[in-house]
Amino acid sequence: MVVPFSGGCACGAIRYQCSADPVFSWNCHCRDCQRASGSAFCPVLYVAKATLTLTGKSRYYDVKAESGNQVSRGFCPECGSPVFIQAELVPDLQGLWAASLDDPSQFQPLVQVWTGSAQPWDCMTPTLQKVEKAPTAAQMQKLLTPRG
Ligand SMILES: [Zn+2]
Ligand SMILES: [Zn+2]
């Protein structure tokens, strides 16, 4: 991605800027992401919290994800756009919904997870590896290894 990059919610009340490349990015097809998005999956990039600058106030909704892990979903109280995800699994990272980016074409998912929960009308990227449920510790380690 071109850094720094920026984004925000639909009404502009929430804005963020990030000064470093995402740590990892994926499309999650779990039921919880389906409900939170109203759609087939959640395209999300995770960045180090230390590299993120925020303006505006978001509200958080805590949910036990399909994995059993606690996930906090941040959205704009004005326009309702989903913008942030905080996952217990990766406490130092902040998830950003891909479509909240000012330039969403920059999003590069590395893997598709929870494909076992995907709907028959879901469209997946054929070139991306599918993980049926949550990634294993080994798969997670591989995703977290810095690239390039
Ligand atoms: Zn908003
Ligand atoms: Zn999910």
Computed over every residue of the chain, the mean pLDDT equals: 94
Gap from CA of 82 to ligand 1 centroid (Å)? 9
d(CA 9, ligand 1 centre) in Å? 4
CATH for 5-140 (3.60.20.10, 3.40.1050.10, 3.90.1590.10, 2.40.160.20): 3.90.1590.10
**β-pairing, 24-28 with 70-75?**
unpaired
Q: Give distance in angstroms: CA of 30 to centre of ligand 2.
A: 4
The ligand minimizing its distance to the Cα of 29 is: 2
Model pLDDT, residue 11: 98
**pLDDT above 60 (res 148):** no
Q: Cα of 137 to ligand 1 centre, how many Å? A: 35
pLDDT at 147 over 70: no
Digit-coded pLDDT (tens) for 62-117? 999 878 889 999 999 999 999 999 998 889 999 999 999 999 999 999 999 999 99
pLDDT at residue 144 in the model: 80
Name the DSSP class of 147: P
Domain spans in the chain, listed from the N-terminal domain onward: 5-140
Q: What pLDDT is stored for residue 135 in this prediction?
A: 87
Secondary structure string (H, E, C) spanning 44-68: EEEEEHHHEEEECCCEEEEEECCCC
The pLDDT tens digits for 49-64 are: 999 999 999 999 999 9
139 vs 3, more confident:
3
